[in-house]
Structure 1
Amino acid sequence: MALEPSHLQRLLAGADCLKCNLRQADLSGANLAGRDLGGAFLSGANL
């Protein structure tokens, strides 16, 4: 299962991303303070 682009866009726009598929997403430098990522798939993501 690959990264879901709409999930990444929603997260970077400031929304919570519960159970999102963010596999292998490049989140380096992203300000995710206060975001709820409960149950998100983050394997291989660059945090």
Structure 2
Amino acid sequence: MIDELNAFYESIASDLNSKPFLIIDLRNNGGGDERRYFKLLPYLYT
């Protein structure tokens, strides 16, 4: 599962980097473990 998630993040990285103001909507999120969000940390904290 982690490999699939990493591949997904890599596939959208250029789109994420092109947005100066990014909103991540986590409503109705079922949760998960820490490994799931590590790749998003650079976008959440700059």
Q: TM-score, structure 1 length as denominator?
A: 0.29
Q: Give the helix-richer structure, 1 or 2.
A: 2
Higher relative contact order (CA 8 A, sep 6+): 2
Q: TM-score, structure 2 length as denominator?
A: 0.29
Larger radius of gyration: 2
